[in-house]
Structures are given as structure tokens and as C-alpha cells.
Structure 1
Amino acid sequence: MKIPFTQSSHIPTDYEFKHSKWIKKILRSYWLVICLHALVQIACYVFLAYDRTPADFIVNVVIWPSAAGSAGILFASWIDRRFSSYSSYAMSAASTIIAWTIIHVNYDIRIIMAACLLPIFSSVLFFNKKGVWVSFAMQMIGYFLLLGVPSYRQFLSSFDIVSIPVFLLAGTYVAQVIVTSSIEVLDDLKDNMLAKQDLIVRNAIMTKQSKTDGLTNLYNQSSFKDYYDKAYEYANNGMSLHLALIDIDDFKAINDTYGHRAGDVILEKVSLIIKENITSSDIAARYGGEEFAILMFEQSFEQAYAMVEQIRQKIAHMGHLELDGAFVTVSVGLKSYSPHLSKDKLFEEVDACLYAAKRTGKNKTVTSLDLPNV
């Protein structure tokens, strides 16, 4: 469905898209009803005794009923495209035209009257109480219009004239009960789902608290290992995965010179920079005393490298009052998942990259591309 864009254009919701999708499916089924009716009539005319001339049969039994039903469907399709808020009513109008056209052509078949329930029960699909009664009103209009046709009026007994509206009213009442009970069931399901979601959120919060490091609020080493195992399994199934290890340079000297409280503040600041610069899909953990680990997903190696470089540079340019204005740097090792590497081997090679960064001057990011043997 194409929607012309203007500044005031309404953007359809997911519900409206699904509503329109089901309208289209129902309208397509109505095309099938028209075709089947025409084919059955033709088969009956060929193989059974039919008290009509060929011209009368073709015009009054095949052509005009099919044309009337087709016009109703085309009108409903146009309403669905242009005025989607009225599409369910247009669908009911189309099915009303089809139903009463079929009844008019086959009024001598008693059971065919049940066709007038088709529009009513079609409206049930949209859980709209008003729509059910609108459909009922359409059936009553169709009935009284057909009642004005002499041949149909003469065919009905006095009991039929009274019982048909009662039949429609009873069918509408049943449809209304179905809609009401369905809405109640959906409301109960919604309440249960919300309660379940609330419970899931609470459990998630409790689980996260048990899995995070108290000082940095990053995941702890134990939970990181669990996530790493799962991430490696996902990577085996085709998901991109990059692992980075970050270590604060000369952290022991910071503790020895400025005290452990100053060291804790530095850990908090470094972890905050890491959290602020990773994406919502990534996982960061405090892996050891002054060492951090990051699992990065849904990005290329170049993007992962740019991310850890950004983290490293922001840390390097931040002065710290706790250290009398001195700066702190970090060294980084980075490598991407490769099918030929086990998860232990991958971690070892990232650790080797980190060690190389430390050994060759610190305050740098070393990747497997920088180390030919890794």
C-alpha cells in the first residue's frame, strides 16, 4: 500500500498494516466466492434441468450477479487504499452485496439464506462490536430491498418474512457474544503478558546485579565467561564477533603512589568511558583487577577497531584530580572471531595482542594484523 508522504502524513501502525492485510485476504476470498458461484451455476445449467433460456441465464444468473459482486469488491479495495479507517465497513458492504445477490439468484434453495450470515461473521474477525451491528444493519437493508422483488416476495411465507430478521438478529447476537468474549480473552492475555514482562524485568535486574562488578557496574569475570561461550556459539553460526582486552597502564604505580581509593576512582572512570562508547549490542566486563574485556557484535572489524581506539584516546586525554592532574593510559588487544580458532585460542591471541601493546610502548591498540604470528 503506497502512502504519499507529506509533513502531516499519518504513518500506519503495525496494527493498521495487519488490519489492511486481512482485509485484502478476505476480499481475495470473495473473488473466489464469485467465481465458484458462477461455475456452479454453469454446471447446473449444463447438467441439470434449468427453466431459463440461454440468454436469460447468461445475463441474469452469471453476468449481473458476478458484476455486482465484483463492483462491491473493487469499491471495498478502493476504500481500503484511500480511507483505511473505513475498510472493515466497506468489506461488510461488499460481502452484503455478494450474499444477497446469491440469495436473489438462488432464493428457491432454502439453505442459501445462511449466506446472509457471511458478512456478520466476517466482521467478527476485527473484534469490533460496532462493526458487527453495522453489518447487521446492512443485512436488514439487503433483506428489505430483496423483499421488494415480486418473485422473491411471493416465494416467502408469512413465517419466512418474520423469521428471517429474527434469524439475522440471532446470528448477530451470537457474533456479538463472540466478539465480547474474544476481547475479554485478549485483555486477560495482555494483562498476563504485562505481568510476565514485569516479572522478567525484575528477574533480569536481579540477575544483572548478581552478574555485575560492584565497583564498575560492568559484568564480572564469571558472567563474562558465560557470555563469551554463548557469543562464540553464535559466531559459529555466522554472527560477527570481535574480542578486545583493555588494561590500564602502570596501575600498580597508581595504587602505590596515590592510594587504592584513587585507583578505584580511576577504575570507575575508565569503565564509564567504556560503557559510554560501546553499542547496546556489545558486552563489557571487568575481567581482572585493572583489565577489561569487550565483546562486540553486528559490526565490521574496522568499526570495532575504531570503537576501541576511541575509548583509548578518550581515556588518554582525561586528566584526573585524584592523580594531581596526571593522565592515565590503557593498552588494547583486539582480534576478530575466526572459524579455525577455538574460544580459548581466540582469547589467548587477543591476550597476546594486549601483551604486545604493553611491551612496545603502551597506550596503543594492537590487533592480529599487527602480529604476523597471531
Structure 2
Amino acid sequence: MTDFFTPSALSLHRQSSWIRWFLRVYWIIIVLHGAAQLFAYWLIPYDITTRDFYMDILLYPALMMGTAVVIAELIHKWAPKYTFFSLFGAGAVLSLEIIHLNMDIRIITAMLLLPIMASTIFFRMDLTLFTSVLQTIAFLAMYFGDSWFRTFLTPFDLLSVPIFLLVSTLVSAIIIISGRELVQDLERAQKEKRQIMKQSRKDAQTGLYNHSTFQLFFDTALERGQQGEGFHLALLDIDNFKMVNDQYGHRAGDLILLHVSRIIRENLEPHDMAFRYGGEEFALLLYGKELHESYTVLETIRNRISETDFDELGGKAVTVSIGLKSYISGISRENLFEETDSLLYLAKRSGKNQIAI
């Protein structure tokens, strides 16, 4: 179930930059509001003394709004846990101060809606609800605590403003829910894409990495080898596999491939890699060990396979032959593979069910 009261991964990733953006905008609002008041005073006659204008209309409000933003800045720096509360608290101070100074403008109370709508940027329902409650309390406090403010409002305003705040909150909630669902859809699509890409690297029949993936990791291993990180290449082939298919059918052969792949995977160390090279042949890249240690790992695999009785073969086992060669500084890609392949066929010619190194 979606939790709309906690930030999504996307909002967490971006929230720090959005907070800085909000704080910068707050400063811009303070400057623009002061400039607008100043130009209006110069161009429109005010029934107020020059001193009262500069002190009561410009200086005191700017100090109050600036102090709120500075506090938000400090909280964001030193107590980030409370950043959002201080951020939208400062927004409430700015909106109420602007409304208080411009109450003769009929539509100015719409400023109360802006912090609520702005909170949707973070896709967090708790922030929107907090901001909505904060703005409602602030409006009611101003209405009942400021007789001059009440002179500019009608009884209809007392009813309509809280309704507008509620509607704004509901619209913001819809935006948040739809936005969060969109983010989840995008994350799900990305996950599915990664899964498809992962599957395209795997052999569908055995679950091991496929031939093309081996080529990529083989190149990487060679690059690491040139930098001094040794590795070993092993080629493993199921003995007499054509006879298995001919005698027991291709379905049995497919199941044997699956069982052998499982045994290989279960006995490799975590940093080793196994690939289905093609048909009944497998390639293994073994890292971080000496040649004799790699031999021990492969011997365990060989023994496990030869000692396993398969129901598909009427209780009989199969064997594997393995060629193993260490990376030698300066050896080419082709020579390393060809020499390992030659060792594999040496193991087969020498009686099968053995490892040639």
C-alpha cells in the first residue's frame, strides 16, 4: 500500500535543492514586495507620513519577513529534521505580512493559498496538511486579533476563505497522489527494464550467463589481468551428451543441462562466474585464487556431477571433462581461449571425466 505521508525516493533525492530554491524565492519575494511598496508610495498619494511609511511599511515588515527566512535557513543548516516546518512557517509569515500590508487589495487573501500549493512540490501529504492547518489558523488569528483587518472583510469572506483553503488542500492532495503514482509507475517501469536487461544476459534454459555475456566479462577479465589481477579460465563439457539426447530424448537432455548448471552454480565462490557457452559446453571465470585452488573448486564440481544419479537417465549419472588454464601476462584473448579449449579436448581424449591443466 502506498504511503502518501512519507517522501518518495525521487522527492528525497531532490528535496535539498528544492529547499534552497524555496529560500531563495522567499528573499526575492521580500525584495520585490519592498520595491513594489516603494514605487507605489512614490507614484500614488499615501495618507501616511514619510517616517511612518519607511518604518511601518518597509523596514519593520522586511525585518519580520527576513527574520523568518533567516530562522528557516539556520534550522535547515543546524536542525534539518525540522526544515519543512520552518520552511512553510516562514512562508506563512511572508504571506500574512503581505496580506496585512495590502488589505485594500480585494484578492490579496489568495496569498494564503500559495504555500499550500507550493508544498505539493515535495509530494508529501503531511507537509500539505501541516501548511493548510497553519494557514487556516493564521487567517483566523488575524481575523479575530486584528480589528483593522476585519474592516476589509465581509461575513462572506470569513466563510469563503476557509473554504478556499480546504479546496486548495484537496486539489494539492490530488496532485500529490497522482504525482506519487506516476513516480511509482516510472520506478516500476525502470525496474522492469532492468529485469529485462538482466534476463537478456542470462541463458533461458540454464539460468547461467549466456555466450554474449561471457564475451563481455572475458574482455573485462583480460583487462584486469593486464593490470596484475590474475584469473583462470575453465571450459567444461558434458561427456557423451549426444548419446543422452539420442537415448533418453531432448527433454531429458534439457533437464540434465539444468541439473549440471545448478551443481556448477552451487559450488562456485561468490566472485566466480559461470556461463553457458553453447550446447553442453560451459565457461567459467575464476578469480582471486591460485591455480591449485581453482583446480580444487573444479574437482568438487566434477565429483558432484559424476556422483549424482539423475532420474531422467534411469538413475544413471553423467560426467564432465574440464580444461583449466591461468591467465599469463601478455597472452592474447584468442590464445588463452584456444589453449584452454585444447586442454578440454585433451581431457576428453585421455578418458573423459577429468581435468586437464
**TM bin (shorter chain):** 0.5 to 0.7
Q: Is the 8 A contact 2:236 2:322 kept in 1?
A: yes
Which one of the candidate residues 211, 227, 251 is aligned to 1:224? 211
CA distance in 2 between partners of 1:112 and 1:146 (Å): 18
- Aligned pairs for 1:252-267 (under 5 A) are none
Identity rate, percent: 18
Q: Is the 8 A contact 2:61 2:97 kept in 1?
A: yes
- Aligned pairs for 1:240-255 (under 5 A) are 245-248=233-236
CA distance in 1 between partners of 2:261 and 2:215 (Å): 26
1:167 maps to what in 2? 160
1:301 maps to what in 2? none
| TM-score (norm: length of structure 2) | 0.62
Q: 1:321 to 1:140 in 2, by over 3 A?
A: closer
CA apart distance, 1:110: 2.7
CA apart distance, 1:115: 1.9
CA apart distance, 1:206: 8.5
Deviations 1:183-224 (A, max 9, x none): 543575477679868977997899788x3444xx424xxx42
CA apart distance, 1:26: 1.9
1:284 maps to what in 2? 275
1:343 maps to what in 2? none
2:129 maps to what in 1? 130
Q: What is the one-letter code of the residue matched to 1:306?
A: G
| 1:278 partner SS | coil
Which one of the candidate residues 253, 263, 273 is aligned to 2:267? 273
Q: Is the 8 A contact 1:127 1:182 kept in 2?
A: no
2:109 maps to what in 1? 113
CA distance in 2 between partners of 1:293 and 1:115 (Å): 67
Q: What is the one-letter code of the residue matched to 2:303?
A: H
2:303 maps to what in 1? 320
1:140 maps to what in 2? 139
- Aligned pairs for 1:323-334 (under 5 A) are 330-332=323-325
Deviations 1:289-316 (A, max 9, x none): 444155xxxxxxxxx8536959724425
1:59 maps to what in 2? 55
CA apart distance, 1:330: 4.0
Which one of the candidate residues 331, 340, 354 is aligned to 2:340? 354
Q: How many residue pairs are counted as aligned between the two chains?
A: 309
CA distance in 2 between partners of 1:208 and 1:229 (Å): 11
| 1:320 partner SS | helix
Deviations 1:204-246 (A, max 9, x none): 899788x3444xx424xxx423x467779x98xxxx7889742
CA distance in 2 between partners of 1:310 and 1:43 (Å): 87
Q: Is the 8 A contact 2:214 2:275 kept in 1?
A: no
CA apart distance, 1:323: 6.3
Deviations 1:226-273 (A, max 9, x none): x467779x98xxxx7889742249x869x9xxxxx9x98877644543
Q: 1:177 to 1:331 in 2, by over 3 A?
A: same
Q: What is the one-letter code of the residue matched to 1:173?
A: L
CA apart distance, 1:351: 1.9
CA distance in 2 between partners of 1:333 and 1:89 (Å): 62
CA distance in 1 between partners of 2:141 and 2:328 (Å): 73
- Aligned pairs for 1:206-217 (under 5 A) are 211-214=203-206, 217=207
CA apart distance, 1:167: 3.2
CA distance in 1 between partners of 2:34 and 2:328 (Å): 69
Q: Does 1:70 align with 2:66?
A: yes
CA distance in 2 between partners of 1:207 and 1:359 (Å): 30
Which one of the candidate residues 41, 45, 56 is aligned to 1:45? 41
Q: 1:287 to 1:332 in 2, by over 3 A?
A: farther
CA distance in 2 between partners of 1:333 and 1:288 (Å): 24
CA distance in 2 between partners of 1:54 and 1:357 (Å): 99
Deviations 1:94-144 (A, max 9, x none): 122111211222223333332222233233444426325413323324522
| 2:324 partner SS | strand
Unaligned segments of structure 2, at least 5 residues:
1-6, 226-230, 243-252, 308-319, 348-354
Q: 1:322 to 1:76 in 2, by over 3 A?
A: closer
Q: What is the one-letter code of the residue matched to 1:161?
A: T
Q: Is the 8 A contact 1:116 1:139 kept in 2?
A: no
CA distance in 2 between partners of 1:335 and 1:356 (Å): 16
CA apart distance, 1:36: 0.9
CA apart distance, 1:68: 0.7
Q: What is the one-letter code of the residue matched to 1:278?
A: H
Q: What is the one-letter code of the residue matched to 1:181?
A: I
CA distance in 2 between partners of 1:287 and 1:92 (Å): 62
> Relative contact order (alpha carbons < 8 A, sep ≥ 6): 1 or 2 greater?
2
Q: Is the 8 A contact 2:143 2:150 kept in 1?
A: no
Q: What is the one-letter code of the residue matched to 1:130?
A: L
Q: Is the 8 A contact 1:244 1:332 kept in 2?
A: yes
CA distance in 1 between partners of 2:8 and 2:78 (Å): 16
Q: What is the one-letter code of the residue matched to 1:354?
A: T
